[in-house]
Structure 1
Amino acid sequence: MSVPTPSTVAARAGEALTHAAEVLTRLRRARLLHPAGRSFAGEVTIWGTGGPPTGVPLLDEPGRYPATIRLSKGMPTPGSWPDVLGLAVRVHTEGDRPFDLLVSSSGAPPVLRSVPLPRRRFAGTYSTIVPLHGGRGRLWLAALADPDSPGLGRSLAEAAAATRVDEPRLVLATASAVGPWRPFGQVSIGTQLSARQDAVLAFDPIHNLPDGLRATGVLAWLRDHTYRGSRRARGASVQSGGSLGVTV
C-alpha cells in the first residue's frame, strides 16, 4: 500500500475544510464569516508610503481607484452590541484582478494588532491580524480612524445613515511587527449598495492581492479554504458583484 505524500495529505485536508465550510454556510443560509453587513461604493486614494518603500507598487505609488466597501459584524450581535467588526475593501485596479483588503477590529499597538478585539464603534483600528509578505519582508495593513472624518456610529444602520449625509473616511496604513503605523492612503465610503448587491459580493483575501504582496502560512491556508467553501455554498465567485462590484 502506498503512503500518501505530504502534498496529497494537504490537498485532502484542504478539500475537507472547504466542504465543512460549505456545509456550515448552507446551514446558516448566509456568509459563514461576517454574515451581517452593508456594502457601499467608494474610492481609495493612495498617497504612497513615507520613508522606506514596502516593495509593493500599489502601496508605494500614488493613485486613485474606485472601490467597493463592506462594513460587517462577525457574530453578529444585535444592534450596537460589541462585536468583532469587519471592513472589506475591493480596490478596482487596472490589472486582471482586484485587490481585496480584509481587516478586523483590533488594537493599534504592536502587541494588539494581531488580536481581533470586539468593539462598539465602526470608526477605529482595523488590521489584517495576520501579516502579509511584501518585497521587504512581513507587513501588516490597517484602516485607522480619521479624526477629521464624520463618525460611522455604533451599528450598521448608523453607518449607512452616515453615508447619506457625508462621505466618511478611514486612513490606510502599514507597519512592521514592532514599528509604528505609516499612513499611505485613505478609503472614502460613498453610496450604499442594495441588499441584493451586498448578498452576491464575494471577496478573496488570499489570491486577490497586488503584485509584490502575498499571504502564506497556516492561517492563510485556513482562511483560503474557509472562504472558498463559503463562496461555493453561496454560488458566488471571487469576482461576484461585477467588475466594479455593483452589478450581478
Structure 2
Amino acid sequence: MTVTGPPSRAAAVVERASAALGRLRRGRLLHPSGRSFAGEVLIWGTPGPPTGVDLLDDPGRYRAAVRLSKGTPTPGGWPDVLGLALRLHRDSGRPFDLLVSSSGAAPVLRNLPLPRRAFTGTYSTIVGYRVARRRLWLAALPDPDSVDLGRSLSTVAAATRTDTPRLVLAVASAVGPWRPVGQVSIGTQLSAEEDAALAFDPVGNLPPGLRAAGPLAWLREQTYRGSRRARGATAQSGGSTATTV
C-alpha cells in the first residue's frame, strides 16, 4: 500500500537520508532501544457500530510479536517517548503492523507523542487512519487488572518472567471515546537476534479496509523504508518465531 504524497523524487531523498542515518547508527533509526516478546492478540469485536475493518470487527485470536521501546533513548527510567510495536500474524496475506506511541487518552492529546517514565499507560497511533471516508485512531490502553510494566526495559522484561502483562486494544474517532475491541498479551522475551531482525512497516502492512492517512503517513513510509534498507531488512522481516502465550 502506498500513501499519496509528494513526488517520487522527494520520497527517494527522504528514504536515502533515512538509510544514511540508519547506517550511522548501525541499527534502527527510530526507537533503537527496545525488547521484543512473543504475544497474542484476542479480538473481541467492535462494540457498537462496526469500523468497517473485518480484523477489528470480527472476533478472532492471533499470534503476535510485541516490541516495547524508548524513542531517544534516554537512560534508565528517564522520561522518553515510549513505543509499542505490534506485529499481528494473519492466516493469509501480510501481517498487521501497529505502531503506537506514549500519548494522552483525551481526544486533544491522542495524536501527540508525550514523553513519560512508565511503560504502563496509553499508547496511540500518532498517525491516523482512514476507513472509507472516516478517520480512525487505534490505541493500546492500560489494563487495570494487569501487572505493572515499570519504568525501564529491564522491568518490562522482569514482568514477563513472572506474569503475562496485558494491554487493551481500542479504537476511536477523532473526538469520540475509546472503544475496547480486544486484548494484547505479552509473553516470553525473544532473543536479541530476533529483536534485531524485526522490521515493521506501519503503512504497507495493514489489513484490508484500513489505510494510513495524511502527510505524516507519507513521511513515516519513507523513513521506515530507509531504516529497513540500512539494516538489510524487508517489510516482512522477523516475528515469524512468535508463538501464542
1:175 to 172, 176, 191: 172
- CA-CA distance at 1:243 after TM superposition: 3.4
What's the % identity of the aligned pairs? 72
Which protein shows a greater Rg? 1
Moved more, 172-181 or 210-219: 210-219
Q: Which residue is equivalent to 2:21?
A: 24
Q: Which residue is equivalent to 1:4?
A: none
2:149 to 136, 149, 152: 152
**Counterpart check, 1:202 vs 2:199:** yes
Change (3 A) 1:167 1:217: same
Secondary structure in structure 1 of the residue aligned to 2:212: coil
Which aligned runs of 4 or more in structure 1 are off by greater than 4 angstroms?
none
- CA-CA distance at 1:134 after TM superposition: 1.4
- CA-CA distance at 1:130 after TM superposition: 1.9
- CA-CA distance at 1:216 after TM superposition: 2.6
Q: Deviations over 1:154-203 (max 9, x none)?
A: 00000000000000000000000110000000100000000010001100
Contact 2:65 2:86 in 1 (8 A): yes
Please tell me the root mean square deviation across aligned C-alpha atoms, in Å.
Answer: 1.5
Q: Which residue is equivalent to 1:132?
A: 129
Q: Which runs of 5+ in 1 are unaligned?
A: 1-6
Contact 1:54 1:136 in 2 (8 A): no
Q: Deviations over 1:209-230 (max 9, x none)?
A: 0011001321111000000000
Q: Name the CA distance, whole Å, in 2 between partners of 1:43 and 1:8.
A: 34
Q: Deviations over 1:116-172 (max 9, x none)?
A: 000111110000012101146100000000000001110000000000000000000
Moved more, 212-221 or 77-86: 212-221
Aligned residue pairs, count:
240
**Counterpart check, 1:60 vs 2:70:** no
Contact 2:141 2:169 in 1 (8 A): yes
Contact 1:46 1:184 in 2 (8 A): yes
Q: Name the CA distance, whole Å, in 2 between partners of 1:132 and 1:21.
A: 23
Q: Which runs of 5+ in 2 are unaligned?
A: none
1:233 to 198, 213, 230: 230
1:97-116 map, 5 Å:
97-116=94-113
